[in-house]
Amino acid sequence: MALRIETVKPGSLADRARVRPGQLLIQMSGQPVRDILDYQFYLHDENIKLILKDKSAKTRTVSFRKDFEEDLGIELPAMRTKKCRNNCIFCFVDQLPSGMRESLYLKDEDYRLSFLQGSYITMTDLKAEEMERIIKQRLSPLFISVHSTDESVRKRLMGRREIPNILEMISQLAQGGIQLHCQLLICPGINDGQALCTSVEELSQFFPAVQSVAVVPVGLTGYRQGLPDIRPVSSDDAGHLIQKGNIWQRKFRQRFGLGFVYLSDEIFLMAGVSLPPKEYYDGFPQIENGVGMVRHFLDQLRQHQRTYPHRLPKAKIITLVTGTAAAPFMAGTVIKHLSQVENLTVHLVVVANKFFSGGVSVSGLLTGSDILKTFQNRTAQGTVILPPNCLNGEGLFLDDLRVADLEGELGVEVRSTSIDHPFQFIEEMRS
């Protein structure tokens, strides 16, 4: 087991010790180095010993004495992602249309990415040595897709006959001092009702190791040919979940001092119910899972509204783009706030998700092509503002279009906004 050194920073400790790109890193402080996490874990030692192998297969030992936070200046290859072997009946990747970029079809099941990026894992294929590594290296917190603590229900959801007992695995991680954030993705008629209540109660037995439980609705596209039948979460289902959620919140606030169970924004939007205040979310532990994202967006809008000009020096027009799920609160709360700025005209364009079809209605899954189709029969006015999170880190929509593509077709400026500082560009309109 060895990792090839890709680069060495000029002038760094490693460079001065004649460590060179292309050499193999065999051991670090007497331990094998499997990936960048191992390297980062052992890097914090003040006395480090590397065993290296060069192209001629000769090995040599290099020792360093360094400050705790000091880096060696070595860059190692990116980790190879561990792939998922489940056949989950609700898997969103299985519901994608063909012809999208290859990376979108990757099913990852990697505890390292759960620690580094907050991605959710089922732990169905987690090996004993990986469990030991998680505990030894304190890879905490982790984000776990539980979906049900009933093993027969969980096997049905995962599409597997044999999977490890999830509660036993959670217990082992909890005893090892690892914090967990869990999610229960609701498939009506399968893991809701009493099964859901049991899952919540059994997970609560592991508090404070299990810090939070998110309840989210299953996402169903129009590309489920050959896949098991799943009924979408209805508005009535959403209403019942909210009733249960309120009961759980009251109970757990008395027991733990926090709500513990949090419903996703989509459930409140489905039910047509006002979103809870920020206190409901206890610091938004699962905001990237769509739990409290809308509330945070609205609160940030109110906070930053104080910095918006009361009146623009000349008339401006902006056109807000949103999905069907968020349309009601955008038409109400958001438009109301922005309309208080004199000389600012605000239009709202609601985009139906035809790219995925089915029941996909959240703004974060809007594509550039659907936005363009919506504007076919109307004139884009002013600056078109995209919703948060519909672009990836490279500025791509899910269908690979870019902001520049929309600007070319619409003939107007197109900008994105952020949940942390909504409509910051309004402040730029002062001049």
**HEC string for 165-194:** CHHHHHHHHHHCCCCEEEEEEECCCCCCHH
Residue boundaries of the structural domains of the chain: 3-75, 93-290, 298-428
pLDDT, the chain, mean: 93
pLDDT digits (tens, 9 = 90+) for 26-66: 999 889 999 999 999 999 888 999 999 988 888 999 999 98
pLDDT digits (tens, 9 = 90+) for 253-309: 999 999 999 999 999 999 999 999 999 999 999 999 999 999 998 898 888 877 788
- Most confident range (mean pLDDT) of 210-214, 363-367, 377-381, 412-416 is 210-214
- The angle that helices 166-175 and 128-136 make with each other, rounded to 10 degrees, is 30
CATH of 3-75, picked from 2.30.42.10, 3.40.50.300, 3.40.50.720, 1.20.58.1030, is 2.30.42.10
- Work out the widest C-alpha separation in the chain, in whole angstroms: 74
Of the two residues 217 and 312, the one the predictor is more confident about is 217
pLDDT digits (tens, 9 = 90+) for 138-197: 999 999 999 999 999 999 999 999 999 999 999 999 999 999 999 999 999 999 999 999
Whether the pLDDT of residue 419 is over 90: the answer is no
Query: Phi then psi for 382, rounded to 5 degrees?
Result: 65, -135
Mean pLDDT of 417-428: 79
Q: Quote the pLDDT of residue 109.
A: 96
pLDDT digits (tens, 9 = 90+) for 1-17: 789 999 999 999 999 99
How many percent of the chain have pLDDT more than 90?
75
Q: Quote the pLDDT of residue 54.
A: 87
Closest CA to 362 of 403, 322, 422, 334: 322
Query: What span, in angstroms and rounded, lies between the C-alpha atoms of 342 and 179?
Result: 48
pLDDT digits (tens, 9 = 90+) for 274-288: 999 999 999 999 999
Surface-to-core class of residue 395, CB atoms within 10 Å of its CB (0-12 exposed, 13-18 middle, 19+ buried): exposed
Q: Quote the pLDDT of residue 431.
A: 55
Position 340 confidence tier, pLDDT thresholds 50, 70, 90: confident
pTM of full prediction above 0.85 = yes
Distance of CA 44 to the CA centre of its chain: 28
Query: What span, in angstroms and rounded, lies between the C-alpha atoms of 118 and 51?
Result: 32
Of the two residues 363 and 148, the one the predictor is more confident about is 148
Of the two residues 68 and 355, the one the predictor is more confident about is 355
Q: Quote the pLDDT of residue 277.
A: 96
Mean pLDDT of 347-354: 93
Q: What is the token pair recorded at 278?
A: 């920020």
Q: Quote the pLDDT of residue 189.
A: 96
Q: Quote the pLDDT of residue 330.
A: 87
Q: Quote the pLDDT of residue 331.
A: 87
Query: Phi then psi for 113, rounded to 5 degrees?
Result: -70, -30
pLDDT digits (tens, 9 = 90+) for 189-223: 999 999 999 999 999 999 999 999 999 999 999 99
- Which CATH number describes the domain made up of 298-428? 3.40.50
Q: Quote the pLDDT of residue 137.
A: 94
Q: Quote the pLDDT of residue 215.
A: 98
Q: Quote the pLDDT of residue 430.
A: 60
Q: Quote the pLDDT of residue 95.
A: 95
Mean pLDDT of 62-86: 92
How many percent of the chain have pLDDT more than 70?
99
CATH of 93-290, picked from 3.80.30.10, 3.40.50.800, 2.60.120.20, 2.60.120.380, is 3.80.30.10
